[in-house]
């Protein structure tokens, strides 16, 4: 990929430009609402439900110390599970490839023949394979030998040359380096690069536009209208960089999952100057909440070793992403993510089940983590209650992907 110093500035205007670049290649995914889930999110949890959690409100004598949180929430779900290749990763991959195509000397230097390379066992593998095939260049995807067979088949199905490696990060990187030396292909990392961040941020941009357009057309949240309502048919205009709004037109906040941090960092950029708060969501199992802990400690945590069911969130936050999240970039003026919150495995399963049963949406476990935070993390819920007051928040949730096999989905709920 391009040297970060030559990339566009990490700003909302650059996200708007990225969207213009990739718009012909991606889906403008729908935004859905659901009255039942709004009601559940806006109902205080009982003292019994909070027993055994960090937010237990009663002691062994039955004395109540703090009332359960009572936020008012209206949720808008951005369905990136319906994106090409089944995940938001298509956005970053297409942006990276389109930027490479426009790099001075790329075509003259045989870039189209040499192609691109990455290391991934999941959605980025498929996304880069598709983006490269669309651009007419080869893609070399380094995948661990333990990768799920359906993911390997899907990556090959998009025309990629799959090269197997060991399962550790050093093993994957070593094989990727060998492929680059042999082919001259350019590395497109899964999340830790400005071009990837800007591409992923287009999901947040669309979400803002779609909710604003829906409200302008008289469509309110499901809680107010009495049912699930798709808002994707209300097409908001694609704004030029100079026309990007400077005031919050519809959403109060957005929450996305956080693994490597590309989607979350891009969403932070997409909300610059709008007044929209941006939050991240992580699993807590085995230290997968590295961003939550890193923000508390004031330093990036460089390694994660977790077997959380949210397998897309097992990676540590990348260096460039961390800078955006902490507001430590030249353009951020100290403004980054407003907070990152974590939940347990049972809570992720409960949110996953709710999305399937109430909204009929099949998503991968990583996608359900933000909803789990909204429903079960009392720290976040109390924050909403305190900051939003009785009016509550319109909160956008990015459902990041839906690449889970039927067998895998069944195992998540096996007795």
Q: What is the largest CA-CA distance in the chain?
A: 77
Mark whether 121 is an active-site residue: yes
Give the up-direction half-sphere exposure of residue 113: CA atoms within 13 A in the CB hemisphere.
Answer: 5
Residue 127 contacts residue 92 (beta carbons within 8 Å): yes
Residue 201 contacts residue 270 (beta carbons within 8 Å): yes
Q: Which of 14, 121, 165, 306 is catalytic?
A: 121
16: helix, coil or strand?
A: helix
Distance of CA 21 to the CA centre of its chain: 20
| Distance in angstroms (rounded) separating the CA atoms of residues 44 and 296 | 27
**Cα-based distances in Å from 156 to 51, 79, 195:** 48, 25, 24
Residue 400 contacts residue 367 (beta carbons within 8 Å): yes
Q: Which of 89, 165, 221, 306 is catalytic?
A: 89
Closest by CA to 413, choosing from 342, 309, 285, 282, is 309
Residue 336 contacts residue 269 (beta carbons within 8 Å): no
Residue 365 contacts residue 304 (beta carbons within 8 Å): no
- Strands 116-119 and 339-343, sheet pairing: unpaired
Mark whether 89 is an active-site residue: yes
For residue 162, what are the β-bridge partners? 141
The single residue listed with the structure tokens 């909302």 is 12
Which DSSP state fits 203?
A: H
Helices in 247-402 by DSSP H: which ranges?
262-270, 290-297, 319-325, 345-359, 365-376, 378-388
Residues, the chain, total? 415
Residue 370 contacts residue 256 (beta carbons within 8 Å): yes
Q: Which residues are catalytic?
A: 89, 121
């Amino acid at each position: 990929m391009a040297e970060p110093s030559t990339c566009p500035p990490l700003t909302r205007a650059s996200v708007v430009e990225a969207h213009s670049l990739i718009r012909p290649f991606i889906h403008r995914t729908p935004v859905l609402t659901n009255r039942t889930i709004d009601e559940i999110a806006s109902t205080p949890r009982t003292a019994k439900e909070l027993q055994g959690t960090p937010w237990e409100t009663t002691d062994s004598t039955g004395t109540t110390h703090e009332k359960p949180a009572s936020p008012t929430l209206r949720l808008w779900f951005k369905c990136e599970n319906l994106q090409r290749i089944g995940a938001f990763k298509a956005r970053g991959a297409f942006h990276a490839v389109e930027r490479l195509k426009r790099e001075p000397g790329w075509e003259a230097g045989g870039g189209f023949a040499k192609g691109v390379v990455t290391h991934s066992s999941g959605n980025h593998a498929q996304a880069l394979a598709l983006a490269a095939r669309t651009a007419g260049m080869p893609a070399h995807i380094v995948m661990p030998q333990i990768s799920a067979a359906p993911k390997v088949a899907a990556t090959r199905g998009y025309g990629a040359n799959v090269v197997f490696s060991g399962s550790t990060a050093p093993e994957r990187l070593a094989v990727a380096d060998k492929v680059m030396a042999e082919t001259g292909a350019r590395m497109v990392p899964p999340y830790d690069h400005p071009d990837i961040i800007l591409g992923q941020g287009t999901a947040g941009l669309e979400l803002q536009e779609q909710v604003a357009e829906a409200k302008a057309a008289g469509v309110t949240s499901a809680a107010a209208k009495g049912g699930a309502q798709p808002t994707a048919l209300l097409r908001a205009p694609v704004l030029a960089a100079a026309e990007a709004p400077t005031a919050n037109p519809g959403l109060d906040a957005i929450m996305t999952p956080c693994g490597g941090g590309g989607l979350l960092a891009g969403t932070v950029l997409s909300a610059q100057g709008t007044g929209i708060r941006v939050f991240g969501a992580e699993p807590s199992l085995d230290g997968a909440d590295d961003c939550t802990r890193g923000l508390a400690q004031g330093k990036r945590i460089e390694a994660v070793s977790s077997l959380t069911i949210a397998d897309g969130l097992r990676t540590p936050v990348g260096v460039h992403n961390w800078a955006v999240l902490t507001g430590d970039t030249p353009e951020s003026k100290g403004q980054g993510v407003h907070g990152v919150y974590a939940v347990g495995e049972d809570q992720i399963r409960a949110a996953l089940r709710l999305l399937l049963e109430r909204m009929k949406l099949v998503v991968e476990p990583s996608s359900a983590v933000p909803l789990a935070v909204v429903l079960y993390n009392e720290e976040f819920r109390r924050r909403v209650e305190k900051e939003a007051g009785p009016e509550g928040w319109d909160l956008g949730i990015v459902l990041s992907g839906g690449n889970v096999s039927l067998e895998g989905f069944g195992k998540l709920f096996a007795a």
